[in-house]
Structure 1
């Protein structure tokens, strides 16, 4: 089995409404690059990474000299070819490798008739629980969806998601408004859903002192963890001296050097493992094994996935023995997907591990073409810019918070 061709296609898939966060916004769509590798047996494997456009596609296809003729089962060789640490000083290929490895595991699994998780050692669970992922949203001018800003509106959003999908864990993306606003909303969630688990994630924008103040204000609630309330390993270390909620990060422990420091110095309690940020499904799984050894918590992180990356997250969640928290997913905010059969479905707040070989999902070629054309029509967007505040940019820990009375953004932010 050898790779004979490498392809990359940028797509834009609409969201129900633009998602507001402390570092900017998702402007009404997720832009993703879909990677396809073709084997000499005629089968294709698929991977996915965030962002897109001509430069992202060229970055993938530019790796063809490393990939043509490569056996997709030789995953350790692939890691050294693409992510050699000396070469990566000049060419950071972490997420490129993640998408290519994802595609190789998909192709190898299809060829051998085994699942991607079986290439890691097998599954210890067949369904993976998920948390709702709650955002303050701009209104979508086309559909009228979104516009949630205040506590009663966020509680209503969670009620709808809980009724529709069965979530019993809820994660609020904070930091967009002033800390007092997040405290009010988060406490309202605690009052409305006292039996459910809660998480607050302001994307690192608070100072240590602000994070301590917020942590004390929510400490009595049914908290899973306090995710990236402040920036950096030193900031997270200081925070742990003052707040009793377990801390978590997806931002400052994303490689094995950082993981070693975190464990040696007891800096963060729970590491959120991302199949793209860590450089691939295998790397995230290896990090999970290290966390299991040292009795640190592990969870599965979301980074704006479509169905291909979601499948990789399911295989990671299925194979981690120490997965003690519901996984994150932006997935329920999407209006559609590029996989055959449409979006994967939730049952009682969980998604079943796909049963088919490889990643267990197939790309719908018509949908791929449809959303590639949608990208050509709508273009990309800057994740770290806010369409409702064109002159704003994020500076933390001296964040300039949004005005909660502003509920709409320019029409292009919500284009469908």
Structure 2
């Protein structure tokens, strides 16, 4: 089996409402590049990465000369062809490789009648728990506009009714830390027995992070996620608090992973199937973390169904997945996979049973949301559509106030 073509299509998928974070916003849609690897046997495999447009599509298609004739089963050769460390120093190809590897694992699984998780060692679990992933949101069409503690709690209650979440994650850092403390504490009071996590996207100084950690200590915290920036900042925080710490920002490659282990800097690493350069790389990192007795879980980077499937296969095979995974998925109004969006049950999503990634792309929907992208375009992740002159300063982002946010409704 040989690769004969690689295709790339940018799509825009609508969200219930725009999602705010410490460094900008998702402007009511996710932009994804869908990658199709075609083989000489007529099989297609599917991959996905974040962002899109002409440059992203050209970058994917530009790898065809490297990969025409490549056997998609030879995944380690694929890694060296695309992510050679010297070449990647000048042209970072991590996420390009992630999407193509995803597609190769998908097509190989279809050819061999094996699931993607079987290609990395097999499944330890068949259902993956997820957190509710709550955002301060701008108003959407019938949804959104949450600012206050009461509004966030009400949205969390709606998500629990819809999907059964027993872990709740608040995306903080938009407002001043005391507002996050108030909202987060209200969530804890509203759901006795559930678990919680707070993620301000590195917006705080170490000193502010320590203060917040002390204030929320009574909450049933899984961990403190990216409370401050850098391995040194997170190490200083960890030395001063008793709650475990976590990151998906400052440990995203094997060099950083080695430094994290040497410095004993962060307790839990959230593994992303695109940021780490692919499903296999994220799983390898999980095995290293297991060997050194660090925690691991699955990170979300704004996925559609293809990447979600890769996350489910990663979660199935991770030996030390002791926390609910993240997913933005429930914020999407639709998906491009056959059968529509995957469904939560009691806060879990089942690992797909079919070969490869276990999902198939609905080509009509792919065309529909490619056209939608051409209509609405992309957006700049690190800008806020309601505050055109705002920009993030890290640490201590230029926080909004609840009053100014309410005025934008």
TM-score category of the 2 structures, normalised to the smaller one = over 0.9
1:368 pairs with 341, 366, 369, which one? 366
- Indicate the SS of the match to 2:90: coil
Q: Does 1:63 align with 2:63?
A: yes
Structure 1 position 98 matched with structure 2 position 103: no
- Report the equivalent of 2:156: 158
**Range that drifts further, 256-265 or 372-381:** 256-265
8 Å contact kept, 2:14–2:333: yes
The aligned counterpart of 1:128 is 128
Per the TM alignment, residue 403 of structure 1 is displaced from its structure 2 partner at its CA by 2.1
Give the structure 2 partner of residue 239 of structure 1: 237
- CA positional deviation for 1:265: 1.5
Q: How far is 1:408 from its partner?
A: 6.8
Q: CA deviation at 1:410?
A: 8.1
Post-superposition Cα deviations, 1:274-305, rounded to whole Å, max 9, x if no partner, equal: 00000000000000000111110000000000
Gaps of at least 5 residues in structure 1 are 412-416
Deviations 1:121-159 (A, max 9, x none): 11010001111100000001xx23100000000000000
1:207-226 matches, cutoff 5 A:
207-226=205-224
Q: CA deviation at 1:407?
A: 4.1
Query: Following TM superposition, by how much is the alpha carbon of 1:307 offset from its aligned partner in structure 2, in angstroms?
Result: 0.1
Once the two structures are superposed, what CA deviation does each residue of 1:253-287 show, in whole Å capped at 9, x if it has no partner? 00111101111121100000000000000000000
Q: Does the Cα contact within 8 Å between 1:24 and 1:386 map onto a contact in 2?
A: yes
After the TM superposition, which residues 264-283 of structure 1 pair with which residues of structure 2 at under 5 Å, given as runs?
264-283=262-281
Partner of 2:226: 228
| 2:70 is equivalent to residue 44 of structure 1 | no
How far apart, CA to CA, are the structure 1 residues paired with 2:390 and 2:98?
Answer: 32
TM-score (norm 1): 0.97
Alpha-carbon distance, 1:398 to partner: 3.4
1:83 aligns with 2:65: no
- CA displacement at 1:405 relative to structure 2: 2.3
Give the Å deviation of 1:326. 0.5
Residues 408 and 75 from structure 1, CA distance in 2 versus in 1: closer, same or farther, beyond 3 angstroms? farther
Residues 23 and 397 in structure 2, CA contact (< 8 A), matched pair in contact too: no
**Secondary structure of 1:258's aligned partner:** helix
- For 2:405 and 2:206, how far apart are their aligned partners in 1? 29
Q: Deviations over 1:24-71 (max 9, x none)?
A: 000000000000000111010000000000000000000001111000
- 2:253 corresponds to: 255
Distance 1:409 1:289 in 2: 48
Q: TM-score, normalised by structure 2?
A: 0.99
